[in-house]
Every structure is written in C-alpha cells, then in structure tokens.
C-alpha cells in the first residue's frame, strides 16, 4: 500500500455524478453502468425545466459499436427511437449551385496490388476514362436507388457489404437510455443546480448544490450541462478555443415537419446563401434545420428560408440556437470530465455530435481514474480529445473552403479565409500528388476525404506513378467489372422503406416505452 493510499484510504472512484441529462448525460450513465456495474454509484442530476438542444439526430457507423456494447437489439432500438438507416450524407450546392455528391460510408472500389483504388480512379479521371467516383461505392449506389439491407459482404466476392448508421429521435434515444441506466442502478436526481462546491485544499469538485440546498457529492463528476459548462467552465475555468474564424456559422433554426415519402436512407445537406440546411428522415417525421452565419443573414430571413424549403407540413414552430464553434481548452480538469456540448461544439455538417459524446465516454472508460485523477492521465485524455476535435474541425472547414460559388458574399469569404496548417498540408499533398493519409486515430477515412475533395471539384495535378501501369483496356475492364458487381448487389436489395416495414417499424410515438433487449 502506498503512502497516498494509507493517508486517504480506498483510492478507487466509487461514485460519479453526471451533471445534466439529455443524450450526453444518459449515454454516459448507460455506458458507465454497463462497464462498472454495481461497483460504481452513479447519479444523474437533471431538471425537467431545462430543455436540451437535440440537434444530433443523424449518426455515423461508430454508433453501432456503442449500442452493441450496451447489448441493445438493433431492431428494438430503431422502433423505440423512430429510427431509419443512413448510408451517408448528400451535399447539394456546396461547390457550385446545382452540384450534388454524397459522402457515402464504406469503401470505394477495390485495391490492386500495392495501390488503393483512389489512385487508379484519379489517373482514369484525369485521363478522361471515367468521371463518376460514386459508381464504385456500394453505399452511394444503394442511396441513389433508395435501397437498404444488412449486407456483410457482396455474394461471390471479397468486397465488403453495406456500411450504415442511423437517423433517430435524440430525445427518444435519451429516454430509452435513461430506462436502461435506471434498470442497472443509476439514480436520477431532479433539480436545478445553484452552485458548485470545490475542496479548498486542492480545488477538486466536492459536490454540486441544488437550489433547494441538497448536495450531490461524488469522487468524479461528468459535466453534460450543455453550452453553459456549469462545472467544467463556470467552476473550473477550463477555457474555450473559438474556431469561428474557420467555421463562421453561429446560428441555427430547426423546424420539424410531417413525414414525407420516400423515407430516404441518407441525410441531406443543402447549401444556401449564408450557410446550409439539413434534412433528416425519421419514421414519424422529418427533421429540418438551417445553420447560418449571422453576419450575412438575420434570424427572420433564415427562418423564412427554412420554412419555404421544407417538404411537409411543419409540426412545431421554428426554434433558434446560438453557438460558438470550438472546444474547451481542457476537457478534463481536476476530477471533472466534460462531454457533449459542455466539451465543445461542432456544427452537425458531418453528423459528429453524438459520435463525440460516444468517443468521449469510451475514452473516459479506457482512462478511468482513481480518486486522485493523476495529471499524466488527465493530460493524455486532453491530448487525445484535442486531436480528435481538431481533425474533425479540419474536415468541416474543407467543405466551406473548397467552393467555387461566386454569387454570394458568404461563400466568397469562405474561399478567401486562411485555414489551419494541418488542413493546408493535407490539401496541398492531395493537390500535388493525389495522396491522402489518415493520421493516427483521426475519424474520417481516406475515402471520406476523397469524396469531399472530388465532390467539391478539387482534383490533383498528378496521380501515383504505379497507376500508369494499367493499359486503357485494363482500366476499362477493371472498372466495368466493378460496376457490374455493385449494380447486381444493389439490384438484390429491398427498398429502404420496405426493409423498415418488415424489420423495425416503430409504433406511434406515444406507445414507445423502452429499447428492447
């Protein structure tokens, strides 16, 4: 036993207070309860009087890993959350008005020898042999055809099948996770937090104090209080890094509408005069929103543009949200870890909001501390968090920077802005040689970067020299064979709506109780 253990007793964290519910709070509670079971006393402090932002209805494939860790049945989860399937994100009007491309999940094409498919396609594209990158993506083809099935591998080949994520109602997901967590011993404490008590000897959080005087004390605190950062910022002064010079949109307005047909298996992002609109199809409604820059568009104009564009009767009044894109300079301070909006905000352009909660929770479990929260562990958590946020930031900036729109001042300003050195280096490498490298554990793959670069009309000056080794006839045969295999696979898939009807059709929202297991 060390001197520290003798002086302080049991060093293990025995209790956790999660400040705030919503998607972040209940994801954290469910995952910690699943990981630690009865060894950890977990409480979620939240107030029914405080609403949640709830913009995270679209996800990326990693959400499947989180649900599998909890042991959730996928069909039951989709029924409980009015969920649909997602094959990627369609971007309209981003490079030029009238343009459209999809950032599809999953791989593109097939490698030959030492080279990945992108080099052969880039050589073919610059030589006039091919111009449709997405003809070689199973996900993109399925999305275009409005088809879906759970397909692990294309029959008769070694090619992988469908990669997918979900659209779902974030409020229903939080409700389902709350039920899951409470069934595993998590306590919910109703009340508004009035203050945070710090220990005078070391500045650690001792307790959060509710308005009625109750104290919620713990060894470890998880701040899921949203933009306010009640603990991480207001009590512990973590600091905030503002990225609006690169991601200038600072406002959003959301307005759901009634479900429209067909229910598409992809998110849509439609660029406008001073930002972009999202469209997220659920089983019971369509989520719509408009993200915009207040320096180029006022609130009324933004709301009018959104309402005019939605394709079904509105089911709620437009709701506005202000934000500052960026991150906490320190996402873990003392014995407090921040998650969700309390840790930072990335606009939902690439559906990363829920993923950042998930990765933060996973990182916390992997680096779970003792009661003393050693500085080396905290520093490593913050380093990894910073890297993840910065690389996602760079990917989002690319969408704004690489545009050819000349008709709107907002887009011209995006063309002219300076970009981070990390993004500039990646763009210049692609421009010069067609090469893309995924560094360490950054989120987006080489195929993801390729689709956005090509979709935004950004092509390299050269391709890899080995790509020149195939003759024109070999190129045509290789590409033709791939197209045939993928077309045949898509033809065998059912319609997206038909698949949902057969496997995971949701009951009316007022009949949903819980995620089945």
Nearest one of 386, 443, 387, 397 to 420, comparing CA atoms = 397
> DSSP state, 29?
H
CA 291 to chain centre: 16
Element at 514 (helix H, strand E): none
DSSP string, 185-216: T-EEEE--EEEEEEPTTT--EEEEEETTS-EE
In whole angstroms, give the CA distance from residue 456 to residue 404: 8
Q: What are phi and psi of 331, to 5 degrees?
A: -90, -10
Rounded Cα distance between 351 and 401, Å, is: 19
The answer to whether the beta carbons of residues 260 and 315 sit under 8 Å apart is: no
Both tokens of 189, joined, read: 């404490």
Instruction: Mark whether 64 is an active-site residue.
Output: no
Write down the residue that tokens 């019971």 correspond to. Answer: 284
Looking at 64, 79, 86, 158, which residue is catalytic? 86
Beta-bridge partner residues of 193 = 210
Ramachandran quadrant class, 186 (left: phi over 0; alpha: psi -120 to 50; beta: rest)? beta
Alpha-carbon distance of 388 to 64, in angstroms, equals 19
Annotated catalytic sites, by residue? 86
């Amino acid at each position: 036993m060390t001197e520290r253990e003798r002086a302080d007793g049991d060093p293990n964290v025995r209790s956790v207070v999660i400040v705030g519910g919503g998607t972040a709070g209940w994801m954290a509670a469910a995952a910690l309860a699943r990981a630690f079971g009865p060894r950890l006393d977990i409480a979620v402090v939240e107030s029914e009087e405080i609403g949640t932002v709830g913009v995270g209805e679209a996800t990326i494939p990693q959400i499947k890993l989180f649900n599998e860790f909890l042991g959730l049945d996928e069909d039951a989860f989709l029924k409980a959350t009015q969920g649909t399937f997602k094959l990627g994100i369609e971007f309209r009007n981003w490079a030029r008005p009238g343009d459209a491309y999809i950032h599809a999940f999953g791989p593109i094409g097939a490698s030959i020898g030492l080279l990945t498919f992108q080099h052969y396609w880039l050589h073919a594209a610059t030589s006039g042999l091919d111009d449709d990158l997405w003809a070689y993506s199973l996900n993109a083809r399925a999305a275009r055809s409005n088809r879906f099935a759970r397909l692990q591998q294309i029959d008769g080949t070694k090619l992988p099948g469908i990669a997918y994520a979900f659209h779902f109602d974030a409020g229903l997901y939080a409700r389902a996770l709350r039920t899951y967590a409470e069934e595993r011993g998590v306590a919910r404490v109703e009340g508004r937090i009035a203050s945070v008590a710090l220990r005078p000897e070391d500045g650690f959080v001792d307790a959060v104090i509710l308005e009625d005087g109750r104290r919620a004390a713990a060894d470890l605190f998880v701040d899921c209080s949203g933009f306010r950062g009640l603990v991480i910022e207001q009590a512990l002064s973590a600091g905030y890094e503002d990225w609006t010079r690169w991601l200038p949109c600072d406002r959003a307005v959301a307005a759901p509408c009634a479900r429209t047909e067909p229910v598409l298996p992809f998110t849509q992002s439609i660029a406008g005069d001073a930002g972009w609109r999202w469209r997220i199809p659920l089983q019971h409604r369509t989520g719509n929103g408009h993200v915009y820059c207040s320096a180029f568009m006022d609130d009324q104009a933004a709301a009018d543009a959104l309402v005019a564009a939605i394709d079904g009767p509105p089911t709620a009044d437009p709701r506005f949200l202000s934000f500052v894109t960026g991150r906490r300079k320190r996402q873990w301070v003392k014995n407090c870890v921040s998650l969700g909006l309390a840790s930072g905000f990335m606009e939902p352009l690439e559906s990363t909001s829920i993923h950042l909660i998930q990765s933060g929770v996973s990182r916390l479990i992997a680096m779970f501390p003792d009661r003393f929260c050693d500085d080396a562990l905290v520093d490593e958590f913050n380093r990894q968090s910073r890297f993840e946020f910065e690389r996602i930031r760079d990917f989002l900036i690319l969408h704004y920077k690489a545009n050819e729109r000349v008709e709107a001042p907002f887009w011209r300003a995006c063309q002219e802005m300076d970009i981070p050195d990390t993004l500039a280096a990646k763009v210049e490498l692609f421009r010069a040689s067609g090469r893309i490298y995924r560094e360490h554990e950054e989120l987006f793959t080489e195929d993801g970067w390729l689709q956005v670069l090509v979709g935004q009309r950004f092509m390299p000056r050269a391709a890899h020299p080995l790509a020149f080794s195939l003759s024109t006839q070999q190129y045509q045969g290789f590409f033709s064979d791939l197209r045939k295999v993928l077309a045949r696979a898509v033809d065998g898939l059912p319609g997206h709506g038909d698949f949902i009807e057969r496997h995971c059709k949701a009951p009316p929202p007022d009949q949903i109780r819980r995620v089945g297991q």
